Every structure is written in structure tokens, then in C-alpha cells.
Chain A
Amino acid sequence: MANFLRLPHPVAAAALASLIVGGPCIAPMSVAFAEPGGHRERSYQNTTAEVEAQSATRRHSLESVLGREVRTRVEEDVGRIIDLLADRYGHVQAAVIEFGGFLGIGTRKIAVEWSALRFEQDGRKPVVIVELTRDELRVAPEYKQSEPAIVRRASE
């Protein structure tokens, strides 16, 4: 069981809730980031339009990861991210994934190490690839909100 990382209790409880500022329904938003190192002379007084006009800026599409589909490497549909677990410094350590069951009956929740997840695109649809097999996931210990999270780490 060396593959399981035990997070201290209060840390596990500090979940994603604070990240979800807009309530249950958040539209995907686009944010313009300045290219590192470029245009340092530009002051903060720039309007948004001016910033967007800069050729040196890059548009990042930021989207909520809640509800995002999770698959294994071999394209198996596994489940969805339903929560994130952060440590006391605010660094996200694990994602809670819900999978299995039928019509919501018999689903299981497990916590998977954040670094075991790869964020990729399937056409226009963002998906998360988990670096574990279906069999490794299904036997991982159940995640329970009231107990210290046992996190499934990536298998090497």
C-alpha cells in the first residue's frame, strides 16, 4: 500500500468550495495573461482592450474542472472530477473522482493524486487522463468526506 498517501484530516476537509465563487453555474471564462518578460514598460493603467490588442499577450482558456470527464490511458470512460483536495498552503494535492454504478446507483468516490492527472483535449472537449488502470482505480479505497483522505498515487 505504498501507493497510498494519507493527508492529514483538516487538509482533506479544505476542499474546493472556496474556489467556486460563482455558485453552481459558472461560465467558462477567458483571461488574458501578459507574456512573461515582455512589455514590462506597460503600466497597470492599460485598459482591457489595449491589453488584448497586444500581440505579445496570450489568451488562456480557463475552465472549471468540476464535472470534467476522466479517462484512463486506453480511452476507457472512467468517471468525473467532483471535488479537489488542497493542502494547508492551498496547493491542490488530489482530485476526488466519482465512477462506476448505473443511473447514479452504486457509484464509488476515490481520491487520486493531482500529479497522476493529465489535462488534454479530445477535439474541443477537455478531458482528464488518469495515469492508472481501471483495475487500479476500482480497488482504491473509498473517499469519505468525514475522514482523512487516502490518496491513490500514480503507479510507476
Chain B
Amino acid sequence: MAGSARGLRPTASDLDRTAGAPDPGTPPRTGQRGLDWFNFFVADIQTGFGPFLSVYLTTQKWTQVDIGLVLSIGSIAGLLAQVPGGWVVDLARSKLRAAGLAVIAIGLSALLIALAPTFVTLVAAKLLHVGASSVLGPAIAAITLGLVGHAAVAARLGRNARFSAIGNGLAAAVMGACGYFISPQAVFLVTAALAIPAQLALNSIPEAAIDPVRADGGNGTKTEEGRHVGHVGISSLLRKQGLLVFTLCILLFHLANAAMLPLVGSDVTMRSSRWATALVAACIIAPQLVVAAISPKVGELAQDWGRRPLLLIGFGVLPLRGALLAWTSDPYMIVAVQALDGLSGAVLGVLVPLTLADVSRGTGRFNLAQGIVGCATGVGASLSTIGAGVLADKLGTSIAFAGLAAVAVLAFAAVALLMPETRSVPRQDGKV
């Protein structure tokens, strides 16, 4: 809707009509608002698929064994899907179409979960969801890069992160209330319904505004009809300076980070009687508010200062958070410490796609690179919850937090010692 209103402007309607790519120098105005809303609604539709799924299945009289099995199948398939998902987005002619199909698949998956919670449909729904998500994540970044180009992508990724954080925070509050006051099933019906506005937002981004070569991190030169031109081999992508180091840094980050929130949640549940639910909700929503507030600034600073200083801040906050959580036991203090997560969250939300756009520049493999880092994220997060769970069982929650903080120090050291600056210096002629 925003797109059609803007389409009345001469510059934007010209852009709509031209089949070719927009001028790389000037980021188009059209499609920006649509991308805002798309980020917002995608964050919304992903909320119910988290740990809430197991709560829902419990109310559907599932046994713990079956729930565990479905969730394990989902997370293993999710890890395996990341790299192929990114690879597919690189090859897709239309990133908008790829994102649109993924949104439909996620809506369908939510509908299956809500209406037919049997074992077979749940496995199908979970596979549909992880497959679609592995496409959707890279596709959003690809649309962003294709829309604004490398020169303006840092600021635009900051804006993306703001709108998805608003979506995450709001969806957590609304869906939590929905599950509590209406029914857990209603959460998945709402999720399925939200796929419609997500699709509408996507439709308001004109296809012509997305340069498909630029969206893959291609070098901008393309032949008459060859859209695959510029896709380098996978091995030469892996040889790109910084990609493997960055993948390692991200793996270590999530190894330290992923288990913190669940541990915090069960700690607060144990320590606070009356306000436990509200406090756990605050632990989830507070960081999102911080991300929403600061991400555009993070995007701006990433362009002014370079990537390294911000990565060091985002990774530096994590050991501090782990140490504070190990030390404090006051539930209100815990919520305050959790807000620090917003700082890391904003940095990661902006700097992960940004660094990958830097590193994969000219390869046409931006989305494959995202898939590789997505896989590392999943591996780190899975190992984190397993490892911290064992530590918490055997030695207590404080030791588990201390262990996570130690891994976080390692992650920070990896960034400080190994990670190069990836921002490219603008050329003399102003083109980047």
C-alpha cells in the first residue's frame, strides 16, 4: 500500500516501469516502507515456532517423547537446510518471489500445526517451516542489498533490525497473552493469519527495484541475459578473507549466548513467585526494545567507524552479561542485565548480514555465505543449550552462566585477534 502511494511520484513510477536495474548510486525510495513492514511481520510469524510449540503440544495431549522427537527432527533439519537455503536464494531470479513462497509455506505450516496436531502433520509442518525459514532469512538480506546496494546497506540493515525487533517484542507480548487468555492453538491461527499482511508488505516492493545481481553480492556487471554470471565457485567463496573467521566468531557467540535466556527464564521462575511470568516476559521483551532503539545508530556507526569496533562492543558485552548473571540472583537485577542482550542483539542483527555482504562482495554468493553462517549459528545454539543444561544440572545455574561467560571471552578474543576489518574504502569517483 505504501508502495502504490509512492508509485505516484515520478521517480518511483519511472523505476516501476524500467525493467533494468536502478542506478546503483542512489537508493530508491520505493519499496523501503514495504521492506519495513515485511521485516515486522516476518518477526511476528516466527514467534510461535520457538519453545512455545512444546507448550502447545502439551495441551494437545502429546507425550514428552513425541514432543522431543518432533523438536529434534526440526532442529536437525533446520541445521541441514541452512546452506542449501542460501544457495537457492543466490540462484533465484526473483528474491521477492523466493521470500513470498517462504512466507506462504510458514503460514501453511502454522495452519497445519493449529488444525491437525498429529505426529505426521507436525513433522511435515516442522520440515516446511525450517525449509522456508532457511530461504526467508537470506532472502530478506538479499532484497535489502538488491534494493539499496552496498553503499547504503549498513543504514538499511539497521532499519531492518529495528522493525524486526519491534515485531519480535510486540509478537512476544501479544502471542504470550493470546496463548494465556485464549488458547495455545490461537497463537498458531494468528501466526497463519499474519502471513497475509507479510505478503501484502512484500507485494508493495516493486520487482524492478531489486537488482538481482546486486542482491547476490555480484560485482554489478552482468551480460545481456546471464543472471548466473558472477557466481564464483563455492571453494573460492570459502577462501574469501574473513568468511571462515567470521563464521567461527558467530559460532562461538551463539555457543555462549543461546543458553542464557532459557537459563535466566527458569532461574526467574524459581526465584520469583508472583511476578515470574511477567519477569520472564520482560527478559524476552526488554532486549528487543533496546534493539529497536539503537539498531539504526549501529548501522550508521558501522559505516562511519568500520565494522570491527562495533563487533568488539557486541561481543564484549556478552562475557559481562554472563558474569553478571552468574553473580546476581535478584530477579529485577536479572531483567536489567538481560537488557544488555539488546546491545549484542543490535550489533549482531546489523553486522552479520553487513559483514557477509562485505566479504562476499563480487562473488554473487552473498546468500550462500548467509547460509553457512546460519548453519554455524544453529550448531552453536544447539551445543550451547546442551552444554549449559549439563552444567546447570551437575554444578548449578551460576556455574553454567560462568561457563557461558568463559566461552563468550573466547568469542571476543576471536573477534579481537582474528577478525579483519571488512568495510571497503570508497573509491575516488564516489562509487562504492
Write the residues of chain A forming the contact surface with B, with a CB cutoff of 8 angstroms.
15-17, 20, 23-26, 64, 66-67, 80, 82-83, 96, 98-108, 134-135, 138-139, 142, 144-145
Write the residues of chain B forming the contact surface with A, with a CB cutoff of 8 angstroms.
47, 50-55, 57-66, 117-119, 172, 175-176, 179, 261-262, 264-271, 273-274, 276-277, 280-281, 283-284, 393
| Contact in complex: A23, B119 (CB < 8 Å) | yes
> With A100-B276, A100-B277, A138-B269 known to touch, is A106 a contact of B61 (CB < 8 Å)?
no
Q: Collect the chain B residues with CB atoms within 8 Å of residue A104's CB.
A: 50-55
| Minimum C-beta distance from A7 to chain B (A) | 17
Q: Collect the chain A residues with CB atoms within 8 Å of residue B270's CB.
A: 100, 108, 138-139
| Contact in complex: A24, B61 (CB < 8 Å) | yes
| Contact in complex: B52, A103 (CB < 8 Å) | yes
Q: List 4 additional A-B contacts (Cβ < 8 Å) besides A66-B62, A102-B284, A105-B51.
A: A66-B63, A103-B175, A106-B264, A108-B266
> With A24-B61, A67-B58, A80-B58 known to touch, is A102 a contact of B117 (CB < 8 Å)?
no
B65, B175, B283 — most chain A CB neighbours (10 Å):
B65
> With A17-B65, A106-B269 known to touch, is A101 a contact of B58 (CB < 8 Å)?
no
B53, B59, B63 — most chain A CB neighbours (10 Å):
B63
B70 nearest CB neighbor, chain A only: A24
A134 nearest CB neighbor, chain B only: B273
Q: Collect the chain B residues with CB atoms within 8 Å of residue A26's CB.
A: 61
Q: Collect the chain B residues with CB atoms within 8 Å of residue A102's CB.
A: 172, 176, 265, 277, 280-281, 283-284
Q: Collect the chain A residues with CB atoms within 8 Å of residue B267's CB.
A: 106
| Minimum C-beta distance from A96 to chain B (A) | 8
Q: Collect the chain A residues with CB atoms within 8 Å of residue B283's CB.
A: 102, 106
B62 nearest CB neighbor, chain A only: A24
The 10 closest A-B pairs by CB, nearest first: A106-B265, A100-B269, A104-B51, A102-B280, A104-B52, A102-B281, A24-B62, A66-B61, A104-B55, A105-B265
Q: Collect the chain B residues with CB atoms within 8 Å of residue A106's CB.
A: 261-262, 264-269, 280, 283
Question: Which single member of A23, A64, A82, A138 contacts B64 (CB below 8 Å)?
Answer: A82
A140 nearest CB neighbor, chain B only: B270
| Contact in complex: B50, A103 (CB < 8 Å) | yes
A16, A80, A103, A145 — most chain B CB neighbours (10 Å):
A103
> With A83-B63, A105-B50, A105-B265 known to touch, is A25 a contact of B118 (CB < 8 Å)?
yes
Q: Collect the chain A residues with CB atoms within 8 Å of residue B47's CB.
A: 103
Question: Which single member of A15, A101, A138 contacts B273 (CB below 8 Å)?
Answer: A138
Q: Collect the chain B residues with CB atoms within 8 Å of residue A82's CB.
A: 58, 64
Q: Collect the chain A residues with CB atoms within 8 Å of residue B57's CB.
A: 24
CA distance A107 to B276 in the complex (A): 10
Q: Collect the chain B residues with CB atoms within 8 Å of residue A100's CB.
A: 265-266, 269-270, 276-277, 280
- Can you spell out 6 A-B residue pairs with CB atoms less than 8 angstroms apart? A104-B52, A105-B261, A106-B268, A106-B269, A106-B283, A139-B270
CA distance A98 to B63 in the complex (A): 13
Q: Collect the chain A residues with CB atoms within 8 Å of residue B55's CB.
A: 98, 103-104, 107
> With A100-B266, A100-B277, A102-B284 known to touch, is A67 a contact of B61 (CB < 8 Å)?
yes
| Contact in complex: B262, A105 (CB < 8 Å) | yes
CA distance A129 to B250 in the complex (A): 46
B53, B261, B274, B277 — most chain A CB neighbours (10 Å):
B277
Q: Collect the chain B residues with CB atoms within 8 Å of residue A135's CB.
A: 273
A81 nearest CB neighbor, chain B only: B58
Q: Collect the chain B residues with CB atoms within 8 Å of residue A138's CB.
A: 269-271, 273, 276
A65 nearest CB neighbor, chain B only: B61
CA distance A26 to B274 in the complex (A): 34
CA distance A134 to B277 in the complex (A): 13
CA distance A17 to B69 in the complex (A): 14
CA distance A136 to B280 in the complex (A): 19
CA distance A134 to B269 in the complex (A): 11
CA distance A17 to B55 in the complex (A): 18
A83 nearest CB neighbor, chain B only: B64
